[in-house]
Amino acid sequence: MQTSNRTSHFLATAKIVRPISVFLAVDVQNDFISGSLNISRYSAQQDGEEVIEPINTLLETVNFDAVFYSLDWHPSDHVSFFDNLDKRKLDPSSPVSAEEAKMFDTVIFEGPPQMRQKLWPRHCVQESWGAELHKDLKVMDNAVMVYKGTNPEVDSYSVFWDNKKLTRTSLVTQLEQVNATDIYICGLAYDICVGATAADALVIGYRTILVDDCCRGVDLEDIERTKRNVITNHGVIVNSSQVKAMVE
């Protein structure tokens, strides 16, 4: 019999006496704000720095049960970097060849399994300034850092799994350990890593709340698609001013 691959066991086994609300700030890192993947240079022309003030206010006013910060954390030879293209082979089915490929093109790397990959500028290299959280972001004392994109061969937009769903991040077990029921998600980039993370949170079965004014993204249509996807899958989208009343 086909069984569901949803990891719903925690909902079946945990006795929920009250909501356990956790906060996740996705990739509020220098490279996405003012560095090599500065989102303000993309079509939506949004300023990533604008998420910091509402996130800090939220953390100062709302008593979350746990606070997580994810960091895009790539090795120097990461597969998503355009300048590493010559280190790997493309599949013959790739829409563009290695010679023709330009920054931001999507290519298909040789398998098995084959892998579609958008080519990004080098960003969030482990231990570099660009990979640091923005200096003005409030970091809670008991905060947990979640590193993603650490495997050189596979990208990771979601904070739960890599793009091939081969490996889970530490977030998965840590949410189970605190018996999380509700996850408040925000950060950068709205339509890429925030969107992928919210989609996975909903698949697992968390009550998923996207904090809209604490997100900035790359492409307006993709941001709208991200929001529609959250709503369709029974997540909710709120403004940060509404969160305190929801958590306490």
Contact of residue 243 among Zn ion, ligand VGL, none (CB under 5-8 Å per partner type): none
Angle 241-247-248 (CA atoms, 0-180°, nearest 5)?
105
Told to check if 159 binds ligand VGL by CB under 6 A, we report no
Find the binder of ligand VGL among 192, 201, 209, 223 (CB under 6 A).
Answer: 192
Site for ligand VGL in 9-38 (CB under 6 A): 27, 32
Told to check if 193 binds ligand VGL by CB under 6 A, we report yes
Contact of residue 222 among ligand VGL, Zn ion, none (CB under 5-8 Å per partner type): none
Told to check if 161 binds ligand VGL by CB under 6 A, we report no
Q: Residue 87 and residue 242: Cα distance in Å, rounded? A: 48
Angle 224-23-4 (CA atoms, 0-180°, nearest 5)?
70
Site for ligand VGL in 37-76 (CB under 6 A): 72
Question: Please, which residues have CB within 8 angstroms of residue 186's CB and are 6 or more apart in sequence?
Answer: 24, 25, 26, 51, 55, 194, 210, 211, 212, 214, 215, 240
Which CB, 10 or 82, lies closer to Zn ion?
82
What track of x and - describes contact with ligand VGL for positions 73 through 102 (by CB under 6 A)?
------------------------------
Told to check if 209 binds ligand VGL by CB under 6 A, we report no
Q: Among candidates 204, 186, 200, 195, which has minimal Cα distance to 223?
A: 195
What amino acid is encoded at 50 in this protein? E
Contact of residue 62 among ligand VGL, Zn ion, none (CB under 5-8 Å per partner type): none
Told to check if 72 binds Zn ion by CB under 5 A, we report yes
- Give CA 181 to chain center in angstroms: 19
User: Hey, what are 47's tokens?
Assistant: 């300023």
**Residues near Zn ion (CB under 5 A), total:** 1
Q: Which stretch binds Zn ion (CB under 5 A): 68-76, 138-146, 180-188, 224-232?
A: 68-76
Question: Please, which residues have CB within 8 angstroms of residue 4's CB and are 6 or more apart in sequence?
Answer: none
For the annotated catalytic residues, the residue numbers are: 27, 148, 193
Which CB, 193 or 201, lies closer to ligand VGL?
193
Which CB, 182 or 191, lies closer to ligand VGL?
191
User: Hey, what are 28's tokens?
Assistant: 């509020």
Closest distance to ligand VGL from the beta carbon of 80 (Å): 6
Which CB, 124 or 230, lies closer to Zn ion?
124
Chain positions contacting ligand VGL, by CB under 6 A: 27, 32, 72, 120, 188-189, 192-193
Chain positions contacting Zn ion, by CB under 5 A: 72
